Amino acid sequence: MRHLPYFCRGEVVKGFGRGSKELGIPTANFSEQVVESFPSDIPTGIYYGWASVGNGDVHKMVLSIGWNPFYKNIKKSVETHIIHTFKEDFYGEILSIVITGYIRPEKNFDSLDALISAIQEDIEEAKRQLDLPEHLKLKEDNFFHLPEGKIVNNR
């Protein structure tokens, strides 16, 4: 895919409140402005890569770009599930991501259980792919080191 790897950074905002509550799979959501800054021709679907909150550690992640057909969203969203357990929410923090690969297109599901099962499979696929040397090397990218006081996204 010609857009990969794709580097993106933005503030974490409140999403639909479904990730943790309904799915048991918390996601960090970017603002509409960050979503709109993605290349318009990047395919919707499920991706994997690396993520860091603030200047924290870099973790594996799986990410959804699109309209989430199961929920019939009217606005495109970018939702990142960081494969790590955080002690608390991090709304307002800066999330830095590097998307390194593509798993599948987005699709609708017959049930919430089928959606959760597919997400779990996506997480396992992301873990496998991110252990490969071509993806692992991006975990150490300087992009993840935010200089103190740096202005991010015009802020």
**Per-residue pLDDT at 151 exceeds 50:** no
Q: Which pLDDT belongs to residue 25?
A: 85
| 119/23 Cα distance (integer angstroms) | 9
Query: 71 and 16 in contact (C-beta within 8 Å)?
Result: yes
Both tokens assigned to 122: 């996506």
Hey, what amino acid is at 71?
Y
Both tokens assigned to 32: 């509409």
pLDDT digits (tens, 9 = 90+) for 32-85: 899 999 998 899 999 999 999 998 999 999 999 988 766 666 788 899 999 999
Query: 77 and 29 in contact (C-beta within 8 Å)?
Result: yes
In sequence order, what E strands does the chain have? 6-13, 28-30, 45-53, 58-66, 77-82, 94-104
Residue from 45, 52, 55 nearest 79 by CA: 45
φ, ψ of residue 67 in degrees (nearest 5): -110, 0
pLDDT digits (tens, 9 = 90+) for 9-23: 999 998 766 666 677
Alpha helices in 74-150, H assignment, sequence order = 112-130, 133-136
- Residues taking part in catalysis: 79
**Per-residue pLDDT at 153 exceeds 50:** no
Residue from 10, 155, 7 nearest 93 by CA: 10
